[in-house]
Amino acid sequence: MNVTIVDYKSGNISSVINSFKEVAKDKVNIKVTSDLNKIKSSDKVVLPGQGSFKSCIDGLNSISGLIDTLSEFALNNKKPLLGICVGLQMFADIGYEEVETKGLGWISGKVSKIDNQNGKYKLPHIGWNQINIVKESKIFKNIENNTHMYFVHSYEFVPNDKTVTAATTDYSSNIVCAVEKENIFGTQFHPEKSDKAGLAIISNFISI
């Protein structure tokens, strides 16, 4: 089985690569590439994302045909895809970080700044927070509710259809921190930085 981590120069993805390789051992082939043919022939794809919504979308757009290839992979071929942090946020129709930016439009919704209640909550939200699992999701198999995961973000994904929400976290308000829509999965937290529970989520995704 081939799992491809999409490398489109969005920040440092070494921890994502290392954690997937640690979980995969020698059983699964982990590739890191932006080569369209390699992505197309993959069994699963991981879309990481660090930095701003706009910089990540710009990064995808800078590689000719990449967005079309990813959309075909996820929407037409219905193969499993996992978005991490801004990788999840880009599923939205639109994002409002820096400037209004068109997203991938895979899961209808928007990405807006977390309401910090006039400074009561620090932004970015950095650190460990409990997650509340709200629906049975393939990536949460054998993960206990209220497990702590590691977050770094100032913006949140607000889906129009609440049934895609797999987990929330409480920070200023109820923030969507994981989604599942058919074969499309996403986490706002960083599983690659979330210790054993994060590795278990990566293992669950590889096992789908």
- List residues with catalytic annotation: 85, 190, 192
CATH of the domain at 190: 3.40.50.880
pLDDT in tens, 16-62: 999 999 999 888 999 999 999 999 999 999 999 999 999 999 999 99
Give the model's pLDDT for residue 10: 83
The long-range contacts involving 61-69, CB below 8 angstroms and separated by at least 24 positions, are 62/8, 62/9, 63/8, 63/34, 65/36, 66/6, 66/8, 66/34, 66/36, 66/39, 67/104, 69/36, 69/39, 69/40
Domains of the chain: total: 1
pTM, two decimals, is 0.97
pLDDT in tens, 79-128: 999 999 999 999 999 999 999 999 999 999 999 999 999 999 999 999 99
Residue 203 sits in which domain range? Answer: 2-207
Backbone angles phi, psi at 187, to 5 degrees: -130, 135
